[in-house]
Amino acid sequence: SSVPSITLHNGVTMPQLGFGVWQVPDDEAATVVTHALEAGYRSIDTAAVYENEKGTGRAIASSGVPREEVFLTTKLWNSEHGYDSTLRAFDASLDRLGTDYVDLYLIHWPLPMFDRYVETWRAFEKLYADGRVRAIGVSNFQPPHLERLLAETSAVPVINQIELHPRLQQEQSRTFHAAHGIATEAWSPLGQGKDILNDPVITKIAERHGKTAAQVILRWHLQLGNVVIPKSVTPSRIRENIDVFDFELPAEDLSALAGLESASRLGPDPSEMD
Ligand code: NAD
């Protein structure tokens, strides 16, 4: 069965499950994004700093899938915060992607110590007003950073992409987002494929459903309402990760998964990163 969409607060729809390409070299990106599109993914998550916008754009252009059927996300890197530098960085991303718009543009990190995310956001508002992006959002923002955008600017981010997996469930952020109509998008939704995939709580649930641990984790995200963007370069896993729409976790499985919270970050703390 096919991937459901969520409606962002500006009315734009986005597939709830997409494909992430962090750490995929540019010359491999074209191949893996082609595999993902063939497997049925219609949302691709890249970033300027991944240095694979070219390969990603090439795969989309040559896929035979119409551009308007692919939801393309890219992100502004940290070195480009500021109004004019954001506008320039956006042009450079479009150029590398080989397209004339992106569906979603995100501020990659808030860098609160640098303190230019409000000014950066004003440039995002301009790109949105000019119709060059269909939606604008943020990544790695914590409630105090979102509070500032809400207080000092007029556009509410449509989405916040944050580290989120069973060991870092982000209860506080999810509650804050829900209260403001901001969608929650999970990065490293599989905990980067590390030991969590062997957690006995998860493997037992997986066995019971005849699914894999990765599929159970993705299903958990979807049932919580999260947007997910799992990454893999292996064709069989790329297919496995989108094959999650033919089963449902009952409440008892969801509560067993809720019990895995351990405040374990894989990435940096956004409030300390500069
Ligand atoms: P992930 O949680 O998606 O895990 C990916 C890894 O898990 C793979 O490299 C592979 O080793 C393993 N894996 C994937 N599918 C599997 C399967 N079916 N069975 C077994 N192992 C499997 O980690 P990620 O790549 O860090 O996150 C996903 C995407 O999120 C990234 O590609 C990127 O697009 C985005 N991201 C964003 C930020 C940010 O700061 N905004 C940070 C990190 C990642």
Residue 84, class by beta-carbon neighbours within 10 Å (0-12 exposed, 13-18 middle, 19+ buried)?
exposed
Confidence class of residue 137 from pLDDT cuts 50, 70 and 90?
Answer: very high
- Mean pLDDT, to the nearest integer, of 86-101? 98
146 lies in some domain: yes
Residue 73's φ and ψ, nearest 5 degrees, are -115, 135
The strand pair at 5-7 and 13-15 is best described as antiparallel
221 lies in some domain: no
Sequence-ordered list of residues with C-beta below 8 angstroms from that of 191, at least 6 positions apart, any chain = 165, 166, 167, 197, 217, 266
Check if 74 has its Cβ closer than 6 Å to any atom of ligand 1.
Answer: no
Q: Rounded CA gap, 242 and 231, in Å?
A: 11
Within its chain, how far is the Cα of 199 from the centroid? Answer: 24
266 lies in some domain: no
Q: Is 50 a catalytic residue?
A: yes
209 lies in some domain: no
Determine the angle formed by the axes of helices 235-242 and 26-39, rounding to 10 degrees.
40
- Mean pLDDT, to the nearest integer, of 112-123? 97
Q: What is the pLDDT of residue 1?
A: 58
- Going from the Cα of 229 to the center of ligand 1, the distance in angstroms, rounded, reads 7
Domain extent, residue 155, equals 5-193+226-247
Tens digit of pLDDT for each residue in 165-216?
999 999 999 999 999 999 999 999 999 998 999 999 999 999 999 999 999 9
- Mean pLDDT, to the nearest integer, of 250-274? 95
96 lies in some domain: yes
177 lies in some domain: yes
Q: What is the pLDDT of residue 72?
A: 98
5 forms bridges with which residues in the sheet? 15
Confidence class of residue 273 from pLDDT cuts 50, 70 and 90?
Answer: confident
Q: What is the pLDDT of residue 239?
A: 98
Tens digit of pLDDT for each residue in 37-88?
999 999 999 999 999 999 999 999 999 999 999 999 999 999 999 999 999 9
Residue 129, both tokens: 């007003």
Tens digit of pLDDT for each residue in 148-171?
999 999 999 999 999 999 999 999
Mutate to test the pocket of ligand 1, among 107, 190, 217, 242 (most ligand atoms within 8 A of CB): 190
Q: What is the pLDDT of residue 274?
A: 74
Percent of the chain with pLDDT over 70: 100
Q: Rounded CA gap, 114 and 217, in Å?
A: 35
Ligand 1 atom showing the smallest separation from residue 47 Cα: 34
Confidence class of residue 13 from pLDDT cuts 50, 70 and 90?
Answer: very high
- Going from the Cα of 29 to the center of ligand 1, the distance in angstroms, rounded, reads 14
Residue 1 or residue 196, greater confidence: 196
210 lies in some domain: no
Check if 189 has its Cβ closer than 6 Å to any atom of ligand 1.
Answer: yes
17 lies in some domain: yes
Per residue in 249-274, is it b (16+ CB within 10 Å) or e — as a string? beeebbebbeebeeeeeeeeebeeee
186 forms bridges with which residues in the sheet? 162, 228
Q: What's the CATH code of the domain at 148?
A: 3.20.20.100
Q: What is the pLDDT of residue 124?
A: 98
Sign of CA dihedral 59, 65, 68, 72: negative
**Number of structural domains in the chain:** 1
Mutate to test the pocket of ligand 1, among 43, 142, 232, 244 (most ligand atoms within 8 A of CB): 232
Percent of the chain with pLDDT over 90: 98
Q: Rounded CA gap, 53 and 96, in Å?
A: 6
**Is residue 146 pLDDT above 70, yes or no?**
yes
